Structure 1
Amino acid sequence: MTQTIPQDILNALTDVDMPRLAPEPGFDDKLSLAGHVIPVHRAGATVVGSGAAGLRAAVELKRRGGDVSIVSQSAWGGTSACSGSDKQTLHTANTADQGDNFKEMARAIRSGGAMDEDTAYIEAVGSVRAMASLQFLGLPLPQDGLGGTLRYQTDHDEVGRATSCGPRTSRLMVKVLAQEALRLGIGFFNQTTAVRILSDGNRVTGFLAIRPKDRSEQNPLGLALFCCEALVLAAGGPGELYRDSVFPNGCFGSLGLALEAGLELVNITESQFGIGTRREGFPWNLSGTYVQVIPHIYSLDDAGQECHFLADYYRSTQELASNVFRKGYQWPFHAARMLDFRSSLVDLAIFRETQKGRRVFMDFNRNPLPVPGDAPFDLDRLDDDVRGYLRNAGADQALPIDRLRHMNPLAIELYRRYKVDIAADPLEFAVNNQHMNGGIAVDPWGRSNLAGVYAVGEAAGTHGATRPGGSALNAGQVFGTRVAEHIAAAGRASVPAQGQAPGVAEAVAAIDALLRPVTGVPLQEVRREVQARMSDTAGILCTAEEVRAALRDARALNARIRAQGIAFGRSSEAGRALQWQQMALASEAVLAALDHYISSGGGSRGARAICDPAGTALPMSVQGPLDDVRFRPEREDDKASQITLRMAGGRMTLATRPNRAFDEGAKAFFERDWPAWLTGAIYDLPSPPLD
């Protein structure tokens, strides 16, 4: 029997209003440089990014006495605030049902490989604290009558460590953290885009940003200088890298920014793809109950003819329907799940339909059509795991829309807010890029290879080849706190930075040389070329030849930009032009790392199938072998290492390093280990200079 949730409760969990920003802090002074009068702001630490991870770092540092400011391209406009799925997951330790311990959770987090073992344990042991602090701030995580947190199973998680406030979980996280940041009086610079990191050769000294609101005759680009002792990069992932993307518009991340500063990147071969609605409309992941209610999936050809294309892949109606359901907790595409008629065969089928130029839809008012020659769809004729789940959920309604209304009415309400009524009309969707698992290489305290620069959230390359659903949100909260603890322990961010940031004159000159409104490579041309190349050659299906050719083209594009600069139309687009120049660098870096991995014999893992006529893994359909997607399986040894990349002088250098180990047999002993906490030795800080 369907339980009716009052509309006001649905509204509160769907329409999440964000707090109004306080008046912006003033600038401390001005710097006249090469035709630019640049305002200067000084802080002990600056966080670039206003998502859940960045806000956590800022709040925790302020609580520890840090002088901290936040810089954001668009407050509440990033992935944390604007993206999600049906009941967006926060992955945390499980304290009920089968029980759990942190070592087991760490094994699950790192089970996909290419992840540091100590990082996985840090995320596991910090998850309880992260969740409790969010609840303290007012995040309405659901509980049972005895105070236990309600949990469910999600992708790459066999125990059931996921919990959720509904589709707006991460937005609610941003809201409660933003409210705390405002309560603490943290300075916030909105519509401010970081474009160049500055250092003295050994340590960060600040960064240049572009602020359209500060553009004037004296400051034609709207440049601003932010001086700081510590810089936390929390600007999310490179959503604009792909044409087919479920990221909100304008998500550039900081990979290009990091490359230009000489920061080391890691694991940028690893991304995540899955079904979702594109950002041209309302970008959203179609995991969880959207597919667990088993809607009918079909495509339309050029003549408007409906195609029941999944029936060309699966052997029976039961097999087809059960694997549509499994996309709920096996949402990301994974090459191995194309085998044995499993759930990623659904992704492959959808991808191939869109390659044919067809549009693909979910219809929640129809059950799946039968596979020709087989019995019709029946809730009693599903695989045991699927039938058991729906029975336990009480989802025995006749139609998918009624099952969805029963299991998760918020999933329907969410699309209605964006003028899409899935209760009345089919929903168009596709396979899209959703998450970058790699990023800036960091140590167990979130430090990069440039002293004073930290990275958290999706900007940090901590997630490995695969990850349990929602673990990225947890990682951002855990490492946001650890970064704040480390900066505070270092004692360098308690007062504003002093002096002028070295290298600012050279950085301004480089920006001036790059921005050539008339003669440069047009911004829109760079965008089209980068996005088409990444979606067409670095999506879920790759070949060695295509990746190598794409890398050559990416290098050629960056050579043109270095020689000609980048052109743009309106002066207000200067910041966006620099972001696309950096996105072109990020594209080359991803392709370079991917080419390195494939040419070294690397196989299919995580996001991509490495298609190879000599591959030993061959997906099958009901019509026979799918020879065009024969692929190399992953080599077990590759799980134990990670690919790193750095750029110097326009050249990208790649290497492979083993995962950092964690000794599961080591045990803490209170009296022995307490002094390291009391003295701050746990923070691994440089020794003070001798007098």
Structure 2
Amino acid sequence: MTIDVPQHTLDALTDVDMPRLSPEATPSETVRLAGIDVPVYRAGCVVVGSGAAGLRAAVEMKRRGDDVVIMSQSAWGGTSACSGSDKQTLHTANTADQGDNFKAMARAIRAGGAMDEDTAYVEAVGSARMMATLQFLGLPLPQDPLGGTLRYQTDHDEVGRATSCGPRTSRLMVKVLADEAIRLGVPFFNHTTAMKILTEGEGDLRHVVGVIAFRASDRTDTNQFGVALFACEVLVLASGGPGELYRDSVYPNGCFGSLGLALQVGVELVNLTESQFGIGTRREGFPWNLSGTYVQAIPHIYSVDAEGNEHHFLAQYYRTTQEVASNVFRKGYQWPFHSTRMLDFGSSLVDLAIFRESAAGRRVYMDFNRNPLPVPGDLPFDLERLDDDVKRYLGNAGAGQQLPIQRLRHMNPLAIELYRRYKIDIAAEPLEFGVNNQHMNGGVMVDTWGRSSLAGCYAIGEAAGTHGVTRPGGAALNAGQVFGTRVAEHVGASGRAKIPSKRDLRAVAGAGVFDLLAVLKADSPLNVKAIRSHVQARMSDKAGLICDSKSVSEALAAAKRLNAEIREKGIAYDRPSEAGRALQWQQMALASEAVLEALDYFIRNGGGSRGARAICDPVGECVPLSSVGPLQEFRFRKEQDAHRQEQIVVRLDGKQMAVATRSNRKFDETAKSFFERDWPAWLTGGIYDLGPK
């Protein structure tokens, strides 16, 4: 039986209007820096980013009486507000009927390796509180008649800890948190882009004192770029991931993140080798992940060549129609590419096939009005002729309808409605898609309170490198909320953000502005378009889901040459309003070099295929098979177990990237708390470890 969901309900969960921002605060004073009249804004803490993680940190800090402001390049324009999938997942602890507990959840979160065990436990134990507070703020998570949260299985999740409000789950999270931030009076500075972190002190005593930003509303005749100075004692990086790093990307346009910003002041980054790649619609139209019910409806997937000929290309990889259909379905909860799933005719063979079609210049589509075509010589598609796990899932879902669009409408009508909002009717026409970069699992290295290697600087959300190699679907949304709260608790306990900064920053800020202006050279042969083309093509073609030692090494050498040229010649811009974008591409070029440096180090030291990438090698141990024989071109190395126990750390040392490894932090599962013994550490603030950092 299909339940018709009223249109007004579909509208409410698809068209999520964001709140209107309050008028912006005025600067406290104006100072002369590098020949520019620069407005000064003062705060105890500046949160860079207005996504779900940054909003959580700001809300929790404001509740604790801290002086906090939010700086946003484009409020409601980042991945939290604009990205998602069919029923975007929020990953939290399940109930005991599924045999769950926080330690088991922590083991699942860190199962891919290269993740700190204590961080995994922090995310697990904090998940219940995170979900409860979001529900308190009005997040409409679905419940059964007795109040239990409805859940399902997602990628890297065998227990079923996933829940969802539909495709706009993270946008709904942003909305309820934004409403709360505005209600609490947290100041927002919109169209404000962080350009340089300011520090004082040397060695272990070096600490954050402010950030230079470019603001559209601060452009004047004497300040053509809109340079602004934000003085603060605490800085929280929550600006998401480096979406502009890849040409083939499902990020919204303009997502630069803060990896380059952090590198420029020597902040240590970790796990930059680890990303997620998966199928999604192209960035040129409406970028969206095609996981969950989009593929669980089992649409027909095909390609079209330059002459308009259609190719049933998956039939060249799988042996039977049943194998094709079952593995298309499994992309629903095995969405990210994983090298081992290319073996034994697994679901990532779908990704490899799509990758090869795109590389050959063919366009790939899924058609919800056709079931998968039969593999030549085999029987036609039949819902009764599917692998047991697939047949069982569709049976439990009641999805026995004849066509994919009917099954999709039954299982998740919001998935169809979402594309209609962007003038794409998947009920009437095929949907073009490809394999794209979707998430950076690495980022700023932080401890269990979100502290970076630079005192006063924290990182949360996708800006933080907490995820390891793989993670359960939706664990990133959970991590951002948990660590947003943890950072607020730590900052509150430190007392450093109770009042606005009173520092005189004219000397350090003047030097910082001078450094920024030195990059902007109207006569430079380098411009944004050229740098973007170099960086994105190199990352997608040489450091995507399929890579090898030679290609990565050559890409790294090219990235180093580009950054040397930027240092020597600067970057040109056409008009003052584009100067900020030029500086962001300087940062992105730096981030690209850091990623390639880490990846090259990993491969040179015997690193194998795991998570995001297959490391192809002529003497690799693993060969994907297809229906026409071994795919020798994609023979790849196995992962080494020892590499799961460590993380690769990168930092900028002068003009060179310094690379090292460190062991994962451990968590003793046998240790037990004892109330009377451990309560004093809470009462005295001992749990916050407020020594020098």
Report the TM-score range of the alignment, normalised by the length of the smaller protein.
over 0.9
The alignment status of 1:163 with 2:168, answered yes or no, reads no
- 1:137 corresponds in structure 2 to 137
CA distance in 1, matches of 2:208, 2:504: 12
Question: Which amino acid in 1 is paired with 2:16?
Answer: V
**Structural mapping, 1:194-213, within 5 Å:** 194-201=194-201, 202-213=206-217
CA distance in 1, matches of 2:63, 2:139: 19
- 2:540 corresponds in structure 1 to 535
Residue deviations 1:652-686 (CA, integer Å, cap 9, x gap): 10000000000001000000000000000000002
CA distance in 1, matches of 2:359, 2:327: 22
The alignment status of 1:102 with 2:102, answered yes or no, reads yes
CA distance in 2, matches of 1:366, 1:544: 41
- 2:345 corresponds in structure 1 to 341
- 1:378 corresponds in structure 2 to 382
Question: Which amino acid in 2 is paired with 1:92?
Answer: T
CA distance in 2, matches of 1:517, 1:682: 52
**1:500 Cα deviation (Å)?**
2.1
CA distance in 2, matches of 1:618, 1:519: 47
**Structural mapping, 1:468-479, within 5 Å:** 468-479=472-483
Match of residue 625, structure 2, among 586, 601, 620? 620
Secondary structure of 1:550's partner? helix
**Structural mapping, 1:181-580, within 5 Å:** 181-201=181-201, 202-501=206-505, 503-580=508-585
Question: Which amino acid in 2 is paired with 1:273?
Answer: F
CA distance in 1, matches of 2:596, 2:381: 43
Are the aligned partners of 1:137 and 1:180 in contact in 2 as well (CA < 8 Å)?
A: yes
Question: Which amino acid in 2 is paired with 1:468?
Answer: P
- 1:53 corresponds in structure 2 to 53
**Structural mapping, 1:175-186, within 5 Å:** 175-186=175-186
CA distance in 2, matches of 1:38, 1:160: 52
**1:445 Cα deviation (Å)?**
0.3
Secondary structure of 1:509's partner? helix
CA distance in 1, matches of 2:20, 2:458: 28
Is the alpha carbon distance of 1:687 and 1:334 closer, same or farther for their aligned partners in structure 2, counting shifts above 3 Å? closer
Match of residue 638, structure 1, among 638, 643, 647? 643
**1:115 Cα deviation (Å)?**
0.2
Residue deviations 1:209-248 (CA, integer Å, cap 9, x gap): 0012211121121100000010000000000000000000
Match of residue 583, structure 1, among 582, 585, 588? 588
CA distance in 2, matches of 1:263, 1:437: 17
Are the aligned partners of 2:277 and 2:336 in contact in 1 as well (CA < 8 Å)?
A: yes
CA distance in 2, matches of 1:410, 1:55: 26
In the alignment, structure 1 segments of 5+ residues that lack a partner are none
CA distance in 2, matches of 1:474, 1:176: 15
Secondary structure of 2:147's partner? coil
**1:520 Cα deviation (Å)?**
4.6
Question: Which amino acid in 1 is paired with 2:534?
Answer: E
Secondary structure of 1:503's partner? helix
Residue deviations 1:109-133 (CA, integer Å, cap 9, x gap): 0000000000000000000000000
Stretch of structure 1 that moved more, 508-517 or 116-125: 508-517
TM-score using structure 1 length: 0.99
CA distance in 2, matches of 1:32, 1:316: 72
Secondary structure of 1:245's partner? coil
Question: Which amino acid in 1 is paired with 2:115?
Answer: M
The alignment status of 1:679 with 2:674, answered yes or no, reads no
Are the aligned partners of 2:18 and 2:175 in contact in 1 as well (CA < 8 Å)?
A: yes
CA distance in 2, matches of 1:465, 1:304: 39
The alignment status of 1:32 with 2:32, answered yes or no, reads yes
Are the aligned partners of 2:34 and 2:511 in contact in 1 as well (CA < 8 Å)?
A: no
**1:648 Cα deviation (Å)?**
1.9
Question: Which amino acid in 1 is paired with 2:65?
Answer: G
The number of equivalent residue pairs is 688
CA distance in 1, matches of 2:25, 2:525: 35
Is the alpha carbon distance of 1:449 and 1:320 closer, same or farther for their aligned partners in structure 2, counting shifts above 3 Å? same
Are the aligned partners of 2:522 and 2:574 in contact in 1 as well (CA < 8 Å)?
A: yes
CA distance in 2, matches of 1:601, 1:346: 27
CA distance in 1, matches of 2:256, 2:311: 36
Question: Which amino acid in 2 is paired with 1:57?
Answer: A
CA distance in 1, matches of 2:387, 2:373: 17
- 2:65 corresponds in structure 1 to 65
Question: Which amino acid in 2 is paired with 1:607?
Answer: A
CA distance in 2, matches of 1:139, 1:499: 40
Question: Which amino acid in 2 is paired with 1:35?
Answer: G
CA distance in 2, matches of 1:356, 1:18: 41
**1:96 Cα deviation (Å)?**
5.2
**Structural mapping, 1:584-599, within 5 Å:** 584-599=589-604
**1:157 Cα deviation (Å)?**
0.3
Are the aligned partners of 1:151 and 1:162 in contact in 2 as well (CA < 8 Å)?
A: yes
The alignment status of 1:147 with 2:152, answered yes or no, reads no
Stretch of structure 1 that moved more, 491-500 or 364-373: 491-500
CA distance in 1, matches of 2:679, 2:562: 55
- 2:43 corresponds in structure 1 to 43
Secondary structure of 2:98's partner? coil
CA distance in 2, matches of 1:635, 1:512: 46
Question: Which amino acid in 1 is paired with 2:469?
Answer: A
CA distance in 1, matches of 2:39, 2:525: 28
The alignment status of 1:664 with 2:693, answered yes or no, reads no
CA distance in 2, matches of 1:685, 1:421: 55
Are the aligned partners of 1:299 and 1:308 in contact in 2 as well (CA < 8 Å)?
A: yes
**1:687 Cα deviation (Å)?**
7.9
- 2:10 corresponds in structure 1 to 10
CA distance in 1, matches of 2:222, 2:525: 23
Stretch of structure 1 that moved more, 667-676 or 28-37: 28-37
**1:505 Cα deviation (Å)?**
1.5
Match of residue 609, structure 2, among 604, 607, 632? 604
**1:518 Cα deviation (Å)?**
2.0
CA distance in 1, matches of 2:508, 2:556: 31
In the alignment, structure 2 segments of 5+ residues that lack a partner are none
- 1:654 corresponds in structure 2 to 659
**Structural mapping, 1:86-97, within 5 Å:** 86-95=86-95, 97=97
Are the aligned partners of 1:96 and 1:148 in contact in 2 as well (CA < 8 Å)?
A: no
Are the aligned partners of 1:56 and 1:481 in contact in 2 as well (CA < 8 Å)?
A: yes
CA distance in 2, matches of 1:68, 1:526: 35
Are the aligned partners of 1:24 and 1:188 in contact in 2 as well (CA < 8 Å)?
A: yes
